[in-house]
Amino acid sequence: MNISGKSLLLTGATGGIGTALAHRLAGEGARLILVSRNQYSLDNLLARLPGEGHTVVSADIGTFEGRQKIVSACQGQLDGLINNAGINSFGMLETLDESQLHQMFEINAMAPILLIRDLLYPLTKSAGFVVNVGSGFGSIGFPGYCAYSASKFALRGFTEALRRELADTAVSVLYFAPRATDTAMNPPEVVELNKELGNTTDSPKRVADELLALLKKGKGNRAIGLPERFFARLNALFPSLVDGALAKQLPAIRRRALAGTEQRT
């Protein structure tokens, strides 16, 4: 798929992965509609992007008004929607409050579903594409990330069903799963945990390159990392083996999660 000259909507544009993606997509000649809640960060990003024709929309994708604002900004041509915005609250379930749990589902699963529904007409007209940015934890339920994992499982399941539902249209539906990435989403206790568990952490630039590779292929799913792909496959076939491996990591996960919770209270 060639994205040069295409009009693409990118949510979460000012975050770690979003910023790297915005630069990569703009460098390939795409015209971007950049979304996040913070006008100042959006203006800053816009000022640094290569290419021309980019616009910004400051909107909360978790609200009806925010999504309406985004839809209005896409009234001309829309060739692709990259649902990249996401949030996580790392912690053991009993330490998370109700609004944190609701928000993870609202932003990680419901908002992408609603945005796609609302933008399906222009995407169909342009034979465009959708990329939903999930996570490795959307294939492996991970302790300390119960609600985040569940929201990303929901996003992956939705993507699979929608791809099948739109199989007789020209709209492509893609799913992309990064693993741990060096962004502000991960608080210090997660950074330390990943080091302790020996989990590889990617740079946002590497993640942007991988997403570009998926776009060039133009279909299917792409997950970053050989061991992560292997464990996802193992988890699907023999979940009890992964239960055993994660049980060994549980003391470290619990210790880091509780330390993070204590620091914030």
Ligand X SMILES: NC(=O)c1ccc[n+]([C@@H]2O[C@H](COP(=O)([O-])OP(=O)(O)OC[C@H]3O[C@@H](n4cnc5c(N)ncnc54)[C@H](OP(=O)(O)O)[C@@H]3O)[C@@H](O)[C@H]2O)c1
Amino acid code (one letter) for 59: A
Look-up of token digits 């590497």: 206
- Alpha-carbon distance of 26 to 12, in angstroms, equals 15
Judged by beta carbon, residue 9 or residue 123, the one nearer ligand X is: 9
DSSP state of 202: B
CB of 55 to ligand X, least distance (A): 15
Judged by beta carbon, residue 123 or residue 223, the one nearer ligand X is: 223
CB of 101 to ligand X, least distance (A): 15
111-125 and 64-73 helices, crossing angle to 10°? 20
CB of 41 to ligand X, least distance (A): 6
Q: Measured at CB, which residue is nearest to ligand X?
A: 15
**Sequence-distant (≥ 6) Cβ neighbours of residue 98 within 8 angstroms:** none
Task: Determine how many CB atoms are found less than 10 A away from the CB of residue 214.
Answer: 20
Quick check: is 40 catalytic? Answer: no
CB of 57 to ligand X, least distance (A): 9
- Alpha-carbon distance of 140 to 78, in angstroms, equals 33
Judged by beta carbon, residue 126 or residue 246, the one nearer ligand X is: 246
What backbone phi and psi angles, to 5 degrees, belong to 7? -100, 115
Judged by beta carbon, residue 184 or residue 237, the one nearer ligand X is: 184
- In 3D, which of 219, 232, 65, 67 has the Cα closest to residue 142? 232
Binding site for ligand X (CB under 6 A): 11-18, 36-38, 41, 60-62, 84-87, 107, 133, 135, 178, 180-181, 183-186
Q: Which of 40, 121, 148, 175 is catalytic?
A: 148
**Sequence-distant (≥ 6) Cβ neighbours of residue 184 within 8 angstroms:** 15, 16
CB of 169 to ligand X, least distance (A): 25
- In 3D, which of 76, 56, 85, 83 has the Cα closest to residue 7? 76
Pairing of strands 80-83, 55-58: unpaired
Judged by beta carbon, residue 6 or residue 179, the one nearer ligand X is: 179
CB contact at 8 A, 103 and 87: yes
The catalytic residue positions are 148
